[in-house]
A = this chain, B = another copy of it.
Amino acid sequence: MTITDIAKLSGVGVSTVSRVINNHPDVKSETREKVLSIIKEYNYVPNNSARILKQSNTKNIGILVKGVFNPFFSAILKNISTSVEASGYTMILQHHNNPNDLDTLVGFIKEKKLQGVICLGGNFIDIKEESFDDLDVAIVLLCVNLKTQKAWNSFSTISIADDIAAYEATRYLIENGHRNIAIMLGDRDDLGVGLIRYEGYKRAIEDNGIEIREDYIIYGEYEVTKAYEKATSFLKENKEVTAIFAISDMMAIGVAKAVVNLGLKIRDDISIVGFDGMDVAKYYEPTITTIKQPKDEMSKMSVDLLFELLNGETQHKHILLDIELVEGNSIKKIN
């Protein structure tokens, strides 16, 4: 079934059928009805490749996800997915663990002929000025590790102030009297936003005259199980620690279980702070104090911005969203 077949069956020319399909105005309504009925009867769907070939408009949006598909990313993914489809674009999902995020991104764009791409997570610290030069594509980075302002006009970013967020979380613990505060990061070899969060933590510690201890870093790999294991062995050996700041809520849950299974009490013995503001943190018992990221806003903005960029309605932007420290019941006030 091609457009030619439909044209013959409806007794009109191919251009007319094309006009009908694309909702062009210059078609008599009875002709349109007739063509439409034939299309429906024969279950005709236009060949996307042929259209793309002619129009050089692929309508492909890529989503490049780095690392774990944690519930936080999934929630964002779902929101993005819904909006992308609603706009008649095709969403191509790629997951990777490649340390070279930039090359992966560029390859993805070229290979899939993307018009736009959203990156979820990853390190983009050494972006080169010319990296995106020859590709005319709308790029939005979400939750990435990016400190340089190089090539600042070649892509957009939507992020929270990860360092300030981590600073706040740590300061909150210190204000509550904690001094021996450990931090749980993701992958030792590929920190991503974890690096920025660690810097916030570090600054808060130092600003309050506490000594930084490298051995207070735990790597939980963003997984509940790993977090549980690592926290268990860590707590066994560092009895003086009174608080752990985990940079994801899922890891915070692993830590919580470790605390319980060691015969300790969450809050009274070990205070816990999470990060993300997932529902599970709220519905865990005790409710875990966490840094809430505006995930719905983040996903909505990223898609909106992407389409604005695609339509040439805006220049590249760098948006910083607010976070919120949501108090739970997992932090003890010491004296």
Contacts and interface: CB of A to CB of B under 8 A. Distances in A.
A283 B261 CA distance: 10
28 contacts: A43-B110, A45-B110, A45-B111, A48-B112, A48-B113, A49-B49, A49-B50, A49-B52, A49-B58, A50-B53, A53-B53, A69-B75, A69-B78, A69-B81, A70-B74, A71-B71, A74-B77, A81-B93, A82-B95, A85-B94, A85-B95, A90-B112, A92-B92, A93-B93, A253-B283, A253-B284, A256-B285, A284-B284
B48 A134 contact: no
Interface of A: 43, 45, 47-50, 52-53, 58, 63, 68-71, 73-75, 77-78, 81-82, 85, 90-96, 107, 110-113, 134, 223-225, 228, 250, 253-254, 256-257, 260, 279-280, 282-285
Contacts of A68: 78
Contacts of A91: 92-94
Contacts of A75: 69
A283 B224 contact: yes
Nearest to A52: B49
B58 A69 contact: no
B43 A47 contact: no
Contacts of A48: 49, 111-113
Given A81-B94, A250-B280, 20 more contacts: A47-B53, A47-B113, A48-B111, A49-B58, A50-B53, A69-B81, A71-B74, A85-B94, A85-B96, A91-B93, A92-B92, A92-B93, A224-B279, A224-B283, A225-B279, A228-B283, A253-B280, A256-B285, A257-B284, A280-B280
A256 B74 CA distance: 23
Contacts of A223: 279
Contacts of A111: 45, 48
A250 B283 CA distance: 10
Contacts of A43: 110, 134
Contact of A78 (B85, B95, B224): B95
